[in-house]
Structure 1
Amino acid sequence: MKIIQVTDLHLVQPGKLLCGLDPLDRLQRCIENINEHHADADMVIFTGDLSDTGDEETYQLLATELNKLVIPYHLMLGNHDNRDVFLRVFPSIVPEDGFVHRVVDTDEGRFILLDTLEMGRVEGRLDGTRLAWLKQQLQDASGRSVYVFTHHPPFPIHMPHLDPIGLIEAGELFELLKEHGNVRHVFAGHAHRPVAGSWRGIPVSVLRGTNHQSALGFAPDKLAVTHEPPVYGVIFIDRETVIVHSHDFLDTSAAYY
Structure 2
Amino acid sequence: MKLIHLTDLHLMPPGETLWGLDPFDRLDKALTDIATHHPDAGLCIITGDLAEKGDIAAYKMLKQRLKRFPIETHLMLGNHDDRVNYLQVFGGADETGHVQEVLVREGFHLLLLDTLKGPPSSAGLYDIPRRLWLTAELAKAQGAPVYLFMHHPPFDIGHALMDLIKLDDAAEFAALLKGHDIRHIFFGHAHRTISGSWNGIAFSALPSLNHQLPLVSGAVETVYSDEPPMYGVVTLTPAMTVVHSDAFLHRRPAQMQKDAERGNWF
Unaligned 5+ segments in structure 1 are none
Q: Indicate conservation of the 8 Å contact 1:104/1:110, yes or no.
A: yes
CA RMSD of aligned residues (A): 1.4
Instruction: Please list the CA deviations of residues 21-43 of structure 1 after superposition, one character each: whole Å capped at 9, or x if unmatched.
Output: 00010011111111101111010
Say whether 1:154 aligns with 2:150. Answer: no
Corresponding residue of 2:205: 206
Instruction: Please list the CA deviations of residues 24-63 of structure 1 after superposition, one character each: whole Å capped at 9, or x if unmatched.
Output: 1001111111110111101000000000001110101111
Corresponding residue of 1:80: 80
Say whether 1:69 aligns with 2:59. Answer: no
Aligned-pair distance for 1:135? 0.4
Corresponding residue of 1:96: 95
Equivalent residue runs for 1:189-200 within 5 Å: 189-200=188-199
In structure 2, how many angstroms separate the alpha carbons of the residues matched to 1:27 and 1:2?
20
TM-score under structure 2 normalisation?
0.92
Aligned-pair distance for 1:79? 0.4
Corresponding residue of 2:41: 41
Which amino acid in 1 is paired with 2:224?
V
Q: Indicate conservation of the 8 Å contact 1:108/1:237, yes or no.
A: no
Alpha-carbon distance change, 173 to 223 in structure 1, aligned in 2, over 3 angstroms: farther
Which amino acid in 2 is paired with 1:79?
N
Deviates more, 1:154-163 or 1:229-238: 154-163
Q: Indicate conservation of the 8 Å contact 1:177/1:183, yes or no.
A: yes
Unaligned 5+ segments in structure 2 are 260-266
* Other structure's SS at 1:213 match: coil
In structure 1, how many angstroms separate the alpha carbons of the residues matched to 2:141 and 2:5?
22
Q: Indicate conservation of the 8 Å contact 1:217/1:223, yes or no.
A: no
Runs of 4+ in 1 over 4 A off after TM superposition: none
Which amino acid in 1 is paired with 2:232?
G
Say whether 1:253 aligns with 2:216. Answer: no
The alignment of Structure 1 onto Structure 2 pairs a total of residues equal to: 253
In structure 2, how many angstroms separate the alpha carbons of the residues matched to 1:163 and 1:104?
29
* Other structure's SS at 1:119 match: coil
In structure 1, how many angstroms separate the alpha carbons of the residues matched to 2:129 and 2:115?
12
Equivalent residue runs for 1:1-257 within 5 Å: 1-91=1-91, 93-120=92-119, 121-180=121-180, 182-217=181-216, 224-255=223-254, 256-257=258-259
Aligned-pair distance for 1:177? 1.3
In structure 1, how many angstroms separate the alpha carbons of the residues matched to 2:22 and 2:47?
19
TM-score under structure 1 normalisation?
0.95
Q: Indicate conservation of the 8 Å contact 1:191/1:206, yes or no.
A: yes
Instruction: Please list the CA deviations of residues 53-99 of structure 1 after superposition, one character each: whole Å capped at 9, or x if unmatched.
Output: 011101011111111210101000000000111111113x2433110
In structure 2, how many angstroms separate the alpha carbons of the residues matched to 1:28 and 1:185?
28
- What percent identity do the matched residue pairs reach? 44
In structure 2, how many angstroms separate the alpha carbons of the residues matched to 1:59 and 1:141?
32
Q: Indicate conservation of the 8 Å contact 2:217/2:223, yes or no.
A: no
